A and B are shown apart, each in its own frame.
Chain A
């Protein structure tokens, strides 16, 4: 009533007072609408929480993948022999060269050869990776190779161990070829089984001391690639090409981008549904509240002010939605950030580096950005049907005539 009496004085009220009045009226109308409002608010809050949750999950998933790949496989970058292409099996045979005579203290040499193992009388092709045992650039437990007294000690990942049914201390026949292609064979001993989130260093491969592999294949001084540590300063070495950490992570980042695009499509659809609800509510409001609109104008409000009032009402849906989203979303976010989300076993078998538990990354930018996105888009959607008010005849509106 106070608000109405202020308008009836006919003197031009201050701008701030009009805005306050608009929000006050908008709030009263929203609360008055009851279930209709709370349905819209509920949908908006659900979309708000879902967008943040999905994006946070994707962010956390790939951040974990990147961290694990750096820790287990990429280090500070890799120096590859010029003829070796990790994505082309044809290059494995000849893609190796002599270790450069220059300083390689920040590099861990790895030689890769193809071979076969015979677990339980079955033949299985494997990659044999010889690695310098005295390294701490990657998390592979190469110290186990150093500690073992077996003639051919090897370490394997848990996936490999499960697929060939081997455990620590078991022996398995390995058949390989020397540098000239002659077959050789011998029993290798499992010196340890490591647990990694990076299938690239696990599935279908065994790790052994580089010097052993050199002796077995008669390839002393040869390497397929080096893993650099973070102190490595890039040098121009003939016949070797350096791939930075970023270059090595290109594949993972491309996957992340693809997943985020998929996420955007999903949440645009959700957002569109929510916006449809807001749009419908607005159209209904303007249709049902024509006499109210006429009264506002008769009492001295300009069409713009009435339009602003209705837009503010729509906008308040989203503000309420975000607030409600915060109320029940924040505890959910905190819970999952602390507890993580279990990864389905199927993901592990896809060859993607995913941790056993993914800890979503709900950054402030993500939360604020999503809130702004929802508020702005709701405001726009609220404004569109409200434009009709500008064309209304106040007398007809007061009479309640349909326009």
Chain B
């Protein structure tokens, strides 16, 4: 009788042994997605009701809290710069030659009409630090096998209390993310694709952000070039650099 029971439980046991720990998966994802520094050139394609707009920018990022971006095109946005230091964000507009600090409701407004708000762009903590993860299943996204993880916040100040992640089983890159409110309402969905190996790490070069409460097709974020762990001088992350 015992042997028969073991025979039934064995597949479940083997399956459990093959399923990695949620925290391990998050650690590997963070290793791919978060770097000490990065310099990138990217396009943001905003799909609106009257067509799409593409905004290109060059960004410098250092650690989890500092970043600097300069818009390169279109001509109307060219020269606009954005500096983020800790939880503060400044924007410099060349047309007015003014720097303004964004706060409160302004941070909740969308960046150039996209599905990303300024405060979305300020979210950059490691998943492992913020969430407990549980593998709840497997799925296939774009032909890639994925672990499906349910994340629940382990800190009080997580922006999204719950998340659902579809993580590539081999490359440890999220291919899909769903971000939920405390009430369980789905707020955002991110689709990640065009995964390439860059500087020894897997990285998705295309991301589609969709504010699920808004109409539309969302916003594509396409990385044209990116380098990781390059030295970036400190003066870049300074308010003075906004007017240079």
Q: Decide if A and B are genuine partners.
A: yes
- A residues near B (Cβ < 8 Å) are 89-90, 92-93, 114-116, 118, 120-123, 125-127, 173, 175, 178, 180-186
Q: Once the chains bind, are B104 and A182 in contact (CB under 8 Å)?
A: no
CB-defined contacts of A116 to chain B, threshold 8 Å = 108
- B157→A89 contact, CB < 8 A: no
What are the residues of chain B within 8 A of A175 when measuring CB–CB? 181, 187, 213
Contact B214 A89 (CB under 8 A): no
Per-position contact with A for B136-148: 1 when CB-CB < 8 Å, else 0? 0000000000000
Which interface residue of B110, B181, B185 has the most chain A CB atoms within 10 A?
A: B181
With the chains together, A90 CA to B101 CA distance in Å? 9
Neighbour of B216 across the interface among A121, A181, A185, CB < 8 A: A121
Interface class of chain B by DSSP: loop
Whole-angstrom CA separation of A116 from B103 in the bound complex: 14
Docked pose: A121 CA to B210 CA in angstroms: 12
Residues in A whose Cβ lies below 8 Å from that of B86 = none
B3 contacts A by Cβ under 8 Å: no
Interchain CB contact under 8 A, B211 and A123: yes
A178 and B182 contact, Cβ closer than 8 Å, known pairs A89-B103, A90-B104, A185-B187: yes
Which residues of A are found within 8 Å of B106, using beta-carbon distances?
89, 125
Interface residues of B (CB under 8 A from A): 101, 103-106, 108-110, 117, 153, 156-161, 179, 181-183, 185, 187, 211, 213-216
Cβ A180 vs Cβ B183 within 8 A = no
Once A90-B104, A114-B104 are accepted as A-B contacts, the answer to whether A183 and B216 lie under 8 Å apart by CB is no
Closest chain B residue, CB of each to CB of A121: B215
Closest to B213 in A: A118
Q: How far is the CA of A125 from the CA of B185 in the complex (A)?
A: 18
Residues of A with C-beta under 8 A to B157: 180-182
A126, A127, A173, A183: the one within 8 Å of B182 (CB): A183
Task: Give the Cβ gap from B116 to chain A, nearest Cβ, in Å.
Answer: 11
Q: How far is the CA of A12 from the CA of B241 in the complex (A)?
A: 92
Contact A183 B105 (CB under 8 A): no
Residues of B within 8 A of A173 (CB): 185, 213
Residue of B nearest to A93 (CB): B104
For A123, list chain B residues within 8 Å (CB).
108-110, 117, 211, 213-214
Top 4 nearest A-B pairs (CB, nearest first) are A121-B215, A125-B105, A185-B181, A185-B185
B161 x A89 contact (CB < 8 A): no
Chain A residues, CB < 8 A from B213: 118, 121, 123, 173, 175, 185
Which of B108, B159, B215 lies in contact with A114, CB distance below 8 A? Answer: B108
A113 vs chain B, min Cβ distance (A): 10
Q: How far is the CA of A123 from the CA of B160 in the complex (A)?
A: 18
Do residues B160 and A125 form an inter-chain contact, with CB atoms below 8 A?
no
For A93, list chain B residues within 8 Å (CB). Answer: 103-104
CB proximity of A203 to chain B, nearest CB, Å: 13
| Interchain CB contact under 8 A, A125 and B109 | yes
Q: Is the CB of B158 within 8 A of A182?
A: yes
A184 touches B182 (CB 8 A): yes
New A-B pairs, 15, CB < 8 Å, besides A123-B109, A183-B187, A185-B181: A89-B105, A93-B103, A114-B108, A118-B214, A121-B213, A121-B216, A123-B214, A180-B157, A181-B159, A182-B153, A182-B156, A184-B185, A185-B187, A186-B181, A186-B185
Least CB distance from A71 to B in Å reads 27
Q: B190 → chain A, closest Cβ, in Å?
A: 15
Query: CB distance A184 to B181 under 8 Å?
Result: yes
A residues less than 8 Å from B110 (CB atoms) = 123
A114 touches B105 (CB 8 A): yes
Per the bound structure, the CA–CA distance linking A383 and B185 in Å amounts to 83
C-alpha gap A118/B183 in the complex (Å): 16
**Complex A-B: 27 CB contacts under 8 Å:** A89-B103, A89-B104, A90-B103, A90-B104, A114-B104, A114-B105, A114-B108, A120-B215, A123-B117, A125-B109, A126-B105, A127-B105, A175-B213, A178-B182, A180-B158, A181-B157, A181-B159, A182-B157, A183-B159, A183-B179, A183-B181, A184-B181, A184-B182, A184-B183, A184-B185, A185-B183, A185-B187
Min distance, Cβ B207 to any Cβ of chain A, angstroms: 19
Q: Name the distance in Å between A215's Cβ and chain B's nearest Cβ.
A: 12
CB contact under 8 A between A180 and B156, given known A93-B103, A121-B214? yes
B159 CB contacts on chain A under 8 angstroms? 181-183
Cβ-closest chain B residue relative to A174: B213
Q: Which residues of B contact A127 (CB under 8 A)?
A: 105
Q: A182–B187 contact, CB under 8 A?
A: no
A181 CA to B109 CA in the complex, in Å?
A: 16
| Chain B residues positioned under 8 Å from A182 (CB to CB) | 153, 156-161, 182
Q: How far is the CB of A178 from chain B (nearest CB, A)?
A: 7
Q: Which residues of B contact A118 (CB under 8 A)?
A: 213-214
For A180, the chain B residues whose CB sits under 8 A away are 156-158
Q: Bound state CA distance, A114 and B104, in angstroms?
A: 7
A89 / chain B contacts, CB cutoff of 8 Å: 103-106
| Residue from the set B103, B109, B213 with the largest chain A CB neighbour count within 10 Å | B213
User: Taking the nearest CB of chain B, how far is it from the CB of A219, in angstroms?
Assistant: 13
Contact in complex: A183, B104 (CB < 8 Å): no
Q: Kindly provide the distance from the CB of B179 to the nearest chain A CB, expressed in whole angstroms.
A: 8
User: How far does the Cβ of A41 sit from chain B's closest Cβ, in whole Å?
Assistant: 54
The one of A121, A125, A178 in contact with B108, judged by C-beta atoms closer than 8 angstroms, is A125
Q: Taking CB as reference atom, which chain A residue is nearest B104?
A: A89
The CB with the most chain A CB atoms within 10 A, among B104, B156, B161, B214, is that of B104
CA distance A175 to B120 in the complex (A): 14
